[in-house]
Amino acid sequence: MSNEPVDPVIRSFLSVDQSASGQRWMSRADQAGLNRALAISQVHGIPELVARVLAGRGVGVDDAPAFLDPTIRSLMPDPSSLTDCDKAAARIADAVNAKERVAIFGDYDVDGAASSALMFRFLRHFGVEAEIYIPDRIFEGYGPNAAAIDQLIERGANLLITVDCGSTSVEALGAAERRGVDVVVIDHHQMGHEMPVCHALVNPNREDDLSGQGHLCAAGVVFMVLVATLRRLREAGHPFARSLDLLAWLDLVALATVCDVVTLKGLNRAYVTKGLIAARHQNNAGLAALLKVAGIGGPVTPYHFGFLVGPRINAGGRIGDAALGSRLLTLDDPSEADQIAAKLDELNRERQAMETIMLAEAEAEALAEYGTGETAGVIVTAKDGWHPGIVGLLAARLKERFKRPAFAIAFDPMGKGTGSGRSINGFDLGRMVRAAVDNGILAKGGGHAMAAGLTVERGNLGRLRSFFDEQATAQVTALAANQTLKIDGAIGASGATLALVDQLESAGPYGSGHPQPIFAVPLHRLRDVRPVGTTHIKVTLEGMDGSRLEGIAFRAAETDLGHFLMNSRGNQIHVAGTLSADHWQGNRRVQFRILDAAKAP
């Protein structure tokens, strides 16, 4: 979905100017893109639909073969191009050679867990004693803190490595400096002008970094630092250096890259493509245990990482022991891995139950406060007793339902609110939150364009709502009025085959910045429509030639799309969605995920 302004002269796809979800359907590729797709197909012998997918995402004729076969060798620059990477590699190599005790301080999300596990596994290979420390989301918050650093030093740490955090921890890292302990920061988050005092700070988003790798997640940066460190150890003739195959750990990098929703371009495409291959070998006992407990039977896909594995790791950080995920990913013992995976699965079910209750409360408040949300700038919900580890999930659901930026805020008994927000394309949420901090409305807050966090006192909630509406209403209303769904092409039920799915997968992996292809299925009769579970809707579409296609609209029951489908039985309609392969009980079949629908003339 896009919120870019639409030229009214350009004809909409299938003449759908307003779908059931209020979107205008547009072809992803313009005429120049269609011409480029034809050239890609003819020059390289690539199937026409695949060529159209590539062209619609800006891939040039000469670039198509390399895009379809991304490799680490061709896409990873020399790690030395990262500012401070050589300093970090040298310090870590010194710790390996001297067998120093190392403390790894990570974040409590999937990227932090995977980054911590990567560094731990590397050090363990060389016989270095290392400890992972993941802070408690509620009691410690994000990033290093002085108390934890002092504890790690007291336990004997000679080197502190922060992963997926630390770039802005000026005060906290000062504790290590005062104790004479070196710190290596490996991160990817945006940072300001002030940098913490540390031995090395590797972050492709620091202002003086010219590597062009700012799209990497933390695990992707950690991998580059480990490449540089291993190179240094091999050059020095370390006896264990030659036996280490870093590529075998790309499953962890791919997991983090998908779950952190970073753009799948350049090196990230190679990370995920090769990491999925590594994951399918199931050499990581912890990851294999998670795949098993999630019931994943077929080959591992980005969907499995993002929607089945990632949430289970995150459940530990949200409502349980934040260190469970990183610990699991370091394990080689399958039985121990199974135990922790089962615990994370249990926590994830608890999280889902809590989210269901909290979401019902949040939606009820939003409906009472904003109605349909059409005149709102930002949806802000708040309640005493909500779990602060789940408010980000609530915000994401509210954004999906109301198509507006949304916040959910959990107030504690002292009246302090911890909130999280999610935005729509085109509206910078982080900038608005920082403005609220500057205006004295928020105690603290920050983030980026699509997501932000905040802390607010109960007495300022009304001021916050008014401020957000003043800041956002005009722009958000304009963006909402220009919602478009970009369509890659049209197919019939008979053309939605596993062969087509396999062809499309060759242009993957799909994700942020490289969206999964969306196809329109025009003029098909809705033969059957029925609710599935509590929130999904399943349909059967029939083409003019009698061929049929099963489809499902997830979480659509109470949406405009769901109401349209339930009221269209027997009618000819246009439907838009994505194709994938569904593995069930040893069988492989096409799954059509419905994203939108519209009346047919």
pLDDT digits (tens, 9 = 90+) for 394-426: 999 999 889 899 999 999 999 999 999 999 988
How high is the pLDDT of residue 296? 87
DSSP alpha helices (H): ranges in 45-109?
A: 48-56, 64-68, 72-75, 85-98
Checking 235-240 for CB contacts under 8 A at 24+ apart, the result is 236/93, 236/97, 238/96, 238/97, 238/126, 240/125, 240/126, 240/127
Separation of alpha carbons 163 and 317, rounded Å: 16
Specify which residues 159 forms β-bridges with: 102, 182
pLDDT at 585 > cutoff 80? no
Q: What is the average per-residue pLDDT within 23-44?
A: 94
Contact 323, 132 (CB under 8 A): yes
Give Cα separations from 153 to 89, 159, 472 (angstroms).
21, 9, 46
* Residues of the chain above pLDDT 70, percent: 98
512-521 pLDDT, tens per residue? 889 999 999 9
| Segment holding 586, helix H or strand E | none
Q: Give the pLDDT of residue 3.
A: 57
Contact residues for 174 (Cβ-Cβ < 8 A; gap 6+):
146, 196, 197
Q: What is the helix (H) or strand (E) element at residue 409, kind and residue range?
A: strand 406-411
Give the contacts of 292 (CB within 8 A, at least 6 positions apart): 338, 341
| pLDDT at residue 364 greater than cutoff 70 | yes
Nearest to 328 by CA among 285, 276, 281: 285
pLDDT of residue 249: 98
State the pLDDT confidence band at 192, using cuts at 50, 70 and 90: confident
In 236-284, where does DSSP find H-type helix? 250-259, 267-281
If one counts every other C-beta atom within 10 angstroms of the C-beta of residue 311, the result is: 19
User: Minimal CA–CA distance to 397: which of 356, 454, 448, 348?
Assistant: 356
Whether this model's pTM surpasses 0.85: yes
- Residue in the block written with tokens 């205006």: 439
CA–CA dist 166, 353 (Å, integer): 33
For the stretch 485-543, pLDDT in tens is 999 999 999 999 999 999 999 899 998 889 999 999 999 999 999 999 889 999 999 99
Rounded distance, CA 466 to CA 377, Å?
Answer: 10
Predicted confidence band of residue 289 (pLDDT cuts 50, 70, 90): very high
**CA-based Rg of the chain, rounded to a whole angstrom?**
25
Q: Taking a C-beta distance cutoff of 8 angstroms, is the pair 153, 101 a contact?
A: no
**Can you list the domains of the chain with their CATH numbers?**
13-69+485-599 (2.40.50.460), 74-346 (3.90.1640.30), 371-482 (3.10.310.30)
CA atoms within 13 A on the CB side of 396: 8
